[in-house]
Structure 1
Amino acid sequence: MARIKKKAAVICCCALLAASLLLGAALATALYFLLLRPHPPRVVATAVDTQLAAFTVLPPALNFSLAVDVTVHNPSHAPFRYGEVVTAVTYRGAAVGRSAAPAGKIPARSTRTVGARVRVDAARVILSRHYMVDIVAGALPFEAKTAVAGKAAALRLFRVSADAEASCSVILYPFRRESSSHCTSTVRVT
């Protein structure tokens, strides 16, 4: 009789241990999916700032710079560390400018605007075979791409890496000293 009670107590104890382990595993899984799992950042190109300091047709002169500001929102409970922010500008497919902003960190559940100003290499633009045609049309088309790459890690166990890019089509109207832009943002989780 004592042996049966002892065996029942051991079975009951093992069942309670198994149930508590299952409950702990379920709680850990829920905690991971609700809190600890890093989420990829949300990236939006918020502003394209163009500055046309000088422009003349004869002799050809162009002094132009632009900046693409990218807003990065980190929804994770872990900080998002990113490398240098690179902005490259092209005119009709030819590279005419590049700049980089230093690496940084976006705290958990916060937003930061990053970007870099690029001074356009006027000589490359003016020497392009498309320059005079575009000047006659009154519009100079540029492409600006800003890339941000980084990762978020919670407890050094759960990691997510993301590469974000904001691509902006910028049209400069030099005679009116105005510009227009259209931007798209993409995030690739790796």
Structure 2
Amino acid sequence: MEGIEQVSVTKQRRRAHKSRCLTVASMLLGVLLLISIVVLILAFTVFKAKQPKTKLVSAALDGVSPRISFPVVNIQLNVTLDLQLLVENPNHASFKHGQGKSVLSYRGDQFGEADIPPGNIPARGSATFSSRLVLQLDEMASNIRALIDDVLDGELVVDTRTRIPGRVTFLKVFKKHAVVTSECQFTIEVLALKLQSQKCKSKSKL
């Protein structure tokens, strides 16, 4: 009888130990499941990557009005376009960007560019970038006739494109690459050397 009782006690202890193990395992599984659900919710809400936004804050011209001399065609042109661009980061994580670039073009051909230094925009923050684009006359040899016609007509239309690549990092683990671009078209009143109109559009890609 004593041997049977010891066997019964041993079995009960084993069942109790197994029950405790199952309880602990169930609790751990429940905690892991809860953490997974919380992470999933955060991934689709707080930690969901949002597209940075950019807009043109100001644009100004600096330089000397163009002059053309005849009978030998000689054009003198000294124009600088100063741009101020605002980039907004709507994410709950910083936006670290690499070196950006602004390009100035005329009738589809590039004739000026400026670099934007790399940096970091804090979470829910913004930063303003300056871009100084100089019209380089020697780069416009292929369009010199069109340039002369536009100058004589009193209006000069130029385009700018700014591109800033970077990435948004959540909890130093989750990374999402993003590229912010801004495209503008400016109409310059030649004699007064001032901006007559401007049209801009911006977009970003995640």
TM-score category of the 2 structures, normalised to the smaller one: 0.7 to 0.9
In structure 2, what is the Cα distance between the partners aligned to 1:24 and 1:94? 54
Are 1:100 and 2:111 an aligned pair? no
Give, as a single letter, the amino acid of the residue that structure 1 aligns with 2:148: M
Deviation at 1:137, TM superposition (A): 2.0
Deviation at 1:140, TM superposition (A): 0.8
**Structure 1 spans left out of the alignment, 5+ residues:** none
**Alpha-carbon RMSD:** 2.4
Q: Is the 8 A contact 2:103 2:160 kept in 1?
A: yes
**Identity percentage of aligned residues:** 23
Are 1:41 and 2:52 an aligned pair? yes
Are 1:90 and 2:101 an aligned pair? no
In structure 2, what is the Cα distance between the partners aligned to 1:20 and 1:162? 34
Q: Is the 8 A contact 1:40 1:161 kept in 2?
A: no
Where does residue 56 of structure 1 map in the other structure? 67
Give, as a single letter, the amino acid of the residue that structure 1 aligns with 2:156: L
Deviation per CA, 1:17-37, whole angstroms, max 9, x where unpaired?
Answer: 332222121122223333344
Residue-pair matches, total: 189
Matches within 5 A, 1:37-186: 37-58=48-69, 59-125=74-140, 128-179=144-195, 180-186=197-203
Q: Which shifted more, 7-16 or 146-155?
A: 7-16
Q: Is the 8 A contact 2:155 2:189 kept in 1?
A: yes
Give, as a single letter, the amino acid of the residue that structure 2 aligns with 1:146: T
Give, as a single letter, the amino acid of the residue that structure 1 aligns with 2:199: H
Q: Which shifted more, 124-133 or 153-162?
A: 124-133
Deviation at 1:65, TM superposition (A): 0.7
Deviation at 1:13, TM superposition (A): 4.2
**Structure 2 spans left out of the alignment, 5+ residues:** 1-7
Q: Is the 8 A contact 1:38 1:158 kept in 2?
A: no
Alpha carbons of 1:84 and 1:12: their partners in 2 closer, same or farther (altered >3 Å)? closer
Q: Could you state the TM-score of these two structures normalised by the residue count of structure 1?
A: 0.85
Give, as a single letter, the amino acid of the residue that structure 2 aligns with 1:89: L
Alpha carbons of 1:4 and 1:124: their partners in 2 closer, same or farther (altered >3 Å)? closer
Deviation per CA, 1:98-136, whole angstroms, max 9, x where unpaired?
Answer: 111211111121000113101111344476120122123
Provide the secondary structure at the position in 1 that maps to 2:144.
coil
In structure 2, what is the Cα distance between the partners aligned to 1:10 and 1:125? 79
Provide the secondary structure at the position in 2 that maps to 1:71.
strand
Provide the secondary structure at the position in 1 that maps to 2:145.
coil
Deviation at 1:5, TM superposition (A): 7.0
